[in-house]
């Protein structure tokens, strides 16, 4: 089984490229599709207002958009607040009834260390010194202690293993530990209400190295009609544009190969 590298590649195919929304309850059910940013969005659930909230992301440009999900569809809410970014972390504080957002990254090499709160109406930047600039960190809300816990993350080629807590009452960060899980990125944390502990799972402790990347477009007969990329590339997020002026409308496939990873996807070209 091929392991998917953390290099991510996104293609604007002048086609129908949508992010579908699904729910799971003893089986998946697709509910809605909308052209939301589809890479690196921050997401959390507002328990008080019964809304899912997403911020930022890339498709193909990096945005500062805030959307909400009401159980039936997505609604654009705002494009003000934090600057455009991806791979930020966001979690809901049920006592303050606000979202907390920290950090993130924007091309080419801008990492952030700012803290923001969302009350369902507007974003407010919090003047609080805390974790250093980073992206790809894990975050969760500890209901028993009313603290937001942040772990790890990365900035450039540095990967962190420190733990921070945010007190929403005093709007302040404090570093609580430099020991525990090894430094990592892409890990996930969740609060276990029954045991009143935060659980961390997985992650990546090293950055992948450069790999040979090839992206090819195929027609329905399996013929390669265009090669978009064929070179070594470092880890990161990329947007590759396909100029389809010389191709007819229809169904196409594109294969993404990066090192040992290979995947084929379908796209629809509409003119």
- For residues 33 and 85, which has the higher predicted lDDT (pLDDT)? 85
The per-residue pLDDT for 208 is: 63
Nearest to 13 by CA among 235, 189, 187, 244: 244
243 and 128 both lie in a single domain: no
Q: Which two tokens stand for residue 141?
A: 């809300």
5 falls in which pLDDT band (50, 70, 90)? very low
111 and 187 both lie in a single domain: yes
125 and 229 both lie in a single domain: no
Which of 132-146, 150-164, 203-217 is least confident?
A: 203-217
- Specify if 97 maps to a domain: yes
List residues bridging with 175 in a β-sheet: 164
Do 116 and 125 meet the contact criterion of CB atoms below 8 Å apart? yes
Q: Is the pLDDT of residue 181 over 90?
A: yes
- Specify if 6 maps to a domain: no
Which of 201, 223, 256 terminates a domain? The answer is 201
The per-residue pLDDT for 16 is: 29
The per-residue pLDDT for 194 is: 95
In CATH, what number is assigned to the domain containing residue 166? 2.120.10.80
The residues near 136 (Cβ < 8 Å, ≥ 6 apart) are 87, 105, 152, 153, 154, 185, 186
- For residues 135 and 211, which has the higher predicted lDDT (pLDDT)? 135
- For residues 206 and 85, which has the higher predicted lDDT (pLDDT)? 85
The residues near 27 (Cβ < 8 Å, ≥ 6 apart) are none
Q: How many structural domains is the chain composed of? A: 2
Percent of the chain at pLDDT exceeding 90: 62
Each residue's pLDDT tens digit, 11-26: 333 332 334 555 555 6
- Specify if 9 maps to a domain: no
The per-residue pLDDT for 179 is: 79
The per-residue pLDDT for 9 is: 34
The per-residue pLDDT for 32 is: 61
155 and 253 both lie in a single domain: no
Residue in this structure with the two tokens 């290099």, named with its chain if needed: 7
- Specify if 26 maps to a domain: no
Question: Domain residues for 243?
Answer: 211-269
């Amino acid at each position: 089984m091929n392991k998917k590298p953390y290099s991510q590649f996104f293609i604007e195919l002048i086609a129908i490229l949508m992010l579908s929304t699904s729910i799971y309850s003893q089986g998946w059910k697709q509910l809605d599709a909308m052209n939301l940013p589809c890479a690196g969005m921050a997401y959390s659930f507002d328990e008080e207002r019964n809304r899912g909230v997403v911020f930022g992301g890339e498709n193909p440009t990096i945005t500062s958009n805030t959307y909400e999900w009401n159980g039936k569809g997505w609604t654009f809410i705002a494009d003000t607040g934090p600057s455009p970014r991806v791979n930020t972390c966001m979690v809901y504080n049920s006592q303050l009834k606000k979202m907390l957002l920290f950090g993130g990254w924007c091309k080419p090499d801008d990492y952030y260390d700012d803290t923001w709160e969302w009350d369902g109406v507007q974003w407010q930047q919090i003047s609080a010194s805390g974790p250093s600039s980073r992206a790809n960190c894990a975050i969760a809300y500890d209901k028993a202690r009313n603290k937001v816990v942040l772990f790890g993350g990365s900035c450039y080629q540095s990967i962190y293993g420190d733990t921070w807590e945010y007190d929403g009452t005093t709007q302040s960060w404090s570093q609580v530990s430099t020991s525990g899980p090894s430094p990592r990125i892409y890990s996930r944390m969740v609060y276990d209400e029954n045991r009143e502990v935060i659980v961390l799972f997985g992650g990546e402790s090293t950055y992948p190295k450069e790999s040979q990347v090839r992206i090819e477009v195929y027609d329905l007969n399996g013929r390669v009609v265009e090669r978009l990329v064929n070179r070594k590339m470092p880890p990161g997020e990329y947007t590759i544009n396909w100029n389809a002026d010389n191709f007819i409308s229809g169904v196409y496939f594109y294969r993404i190969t990066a090192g040992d990873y290979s995947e084929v996807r379908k796209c629809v070209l509409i003119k």
